Structure 1
């Protein structure tokens, strides 16, 4: 079994007929805001599995086959049979927005209720905390996705601050990139960072994905007001850069996923009756 960006996943998610040859098939896990589900679909949109997530915006596939999801305001780890095996909410977390399980068993959480990022251990004790500034003086400051990097730093989409922050373990901002309402930022192996932006706060033509180098120089962009109409993005949220260089993008307001090549050609559009407002996603070959 081969995964993209994840450790090998247990076979519990895929039942194979006895004696049948195991052929890898691409599956996509999606956190869907509108349907209040986390779903597992094929590339043709066929629904394979779902579970309640109550407007959650994030999903992570764990090495043991469990999923880490946002369910309402809490973070849950759920098994393939949909049972909840771990959960954290108040008083540790007020309003969970995103969550990431680390190799050491700790969990990094974006807590919008207190506009902070925390790392907790399996006993739900806070071992690291970073308060995100509200310099724009928003009445309800908001983050979107937060990701811990292999170097120990943390990428934070400080959305109402209109920037992405890279924060070191000693709480220093070591890198930042300004753009309107960032939703998700991921660091590639080559040191580049891809970010989805909600430029214009509702203007479809303004939304885009951008890839920048360590100096903040743009090396690739998809969407935006200066792009052809067929490249416009109606609120890009989650995305995955695939091994072949293509990028699979969640287009939240259109309820579809769009895969695009490095030269910005549409490779496929994934639609499913089970998908209405896709947010973050995981792509895996099982």
Structure 2
């Protein structure tokens, strides 16, 4: 029996910010470049905003289906690099700058309710952190690019777990940690940017799975930034530097078979994303991204 091709609707953050249907139609878009974002169960979208004239230090926003900004907050340092709805009316974000930090911000008042200092280099603000996430245990998982580390911080700022990204292609700077996802089994899935590499660490920090261009036909990766683990165990990885009609998203199985790719003519690549459905059926459960 011939199997129907896989389709996915997805949200994309990057130089263009939009939701695209499984058939390729743009369903929603927002006129601001973004770093990170999530489609919430009520249909609203939360966004980490790139720096701009309106947001000179970057920012975060919640936007409804009609593009109306329901809440926003302006960063106070160099950049805002991630966002996550953590419940109880709070959004998490990170600020890059001379004092890199994790913030929990009240969506009604805009007040900072909690702050955690990040132990990161300050020579290059842009390469301090990316997709930070609050974990079920209340700690924070932080990918630190130029430090080549993924670290877990407590609410007091103590480092209780870390893993070092590997050198790749004989170059020490290529495998910057960008996305870090704590899986339900305790492993940590990490996208390693321009190494074109994605790795999975076990609880001890040992790499127990990885995938790179060398293992895939067509070498589809071009800056492995955003990553998502799907409920079926497959992994979707972005190619952030892809442009034009190049491959921008790739879905692979555990045994490294490509089962879906996405191309479009939008010039900007996809920085991060959220797969929303498979063949028209919404994904269930907490998105692992």
Length-normalised TM-score, structure 1: 0.80
Superposition CA RMSD, Å: 2.0
CA distance in 1, matches of 2:218, 2:190: 20
Asked if 1 retains the 8 angstrom alpha-carbon contact of 2:81 and 2:130, the reply is yes
Q: Find the counterpart in structure 2 of residue 87 from structure 1.
A: 72
Asked if 2 retains the 8 angstrom alpha-carbon contact of 1:132 and 1:158, the reply is no
CA distance in 2, matches of 1:50, 1:228: 32
Asked if 2 retains the 8 angstrom alpha-carbon contact of 1:138 and 1:160, the reply is no
Q: Find the counterpart in structure 2 of residue 53 from structure 1.
A: 32
CA distance 1:128–1:262, shift in 2 (3 Å) = same
Q: Find the counterpart in structure 2 of residue 5 from structure 1.
A: none
CA distance in 2, matches of 1:271, 1:48: 17
CA distance in 2, matches of 1:214, 1:275: 39
Asked if 2 retains the 8 angstrom alpha-carbon contact of 1:197 and 1:236, the reply is yes
Query: 1:254 aligns to what SS in structure 2?
Result: coil
Matching of residues 196-215 of structure 1 within 5 Å: 196-198=191-193, 202=194, 206-215=195-204
Q: Find the counterpart in structure 1 of residue 170 from structure 2.
A: none
CA distance 1:139–1:219, shift in 2 (3 Å) = closer
CA offsets 1:180-221 (integer angstroms, 9 cap, x no match): 3111101111111100003xxx5xxx3200011111122210
CA distance in 1, matches of 2:252, 2:110: 40
Q: 1:97 aligns with which of 47, 66, 81?
A: 81
Q: Does 1:218 align with 2:207?
A: yes
Asked if 2 retains the 8 angstrom alpha-carbon contact of 1:39 and 1:274, the reply is no
Matching of residues 1-286 of structure 1 within 5 Å: 26-33=8-15, 37-54=16-33, 56-72=34-50, 73-91=58-76, 95-113=79-97, 114-122=99-107, 123-135=109-121, 138-140=123-125, 142-179=128-165, 180-198=175-193, 202=194, 206-223=195-212, 227=215, 230-231=218-219, 233-255=221-243, 256-274=248-266, 276-285=268-277, 286=282
Asked if 2 retains the 8 angstrom alpha-carbon contact of 1:101 and 1:108, the reply is yes
Q: Please identify runs of 4+ aligned residues in structure 1 that moved more than 6 A.
A: none
Asked if 2 retains the 8 angstrom alpha-carbon contact of 1:58 and 1:99, the reply is yes
CA distance in 2, matches of 1:147, 1:229: 32
Query: 2:128 aligns to what SS in structure 1?
Result: coil
CA distance in 1, matches of 2:41, 2:28: 18
Residues matched between the structures, number: 249
| Structure 1 residue 94 displacement after superposition | 5.1
| Structure 1 residue 57 displacement after superposition | 1.2
CA distance in 2, matches of 1:235, 1:90: 26
Structure 1: tracts of 5 or more residues without a match: 1-24
CA offsets 1:27-52 (integer angstroms, 9 cap, x no match): 1001022xxx2111134433222112
Structure 2: tracts of 5 or more residues without a match: 1-6, 51-57, 166-174, 283-289
Asked if 2 retains the 8 angstrom alpha-carbon contact of 1:245 and 1:262, the reply is yes
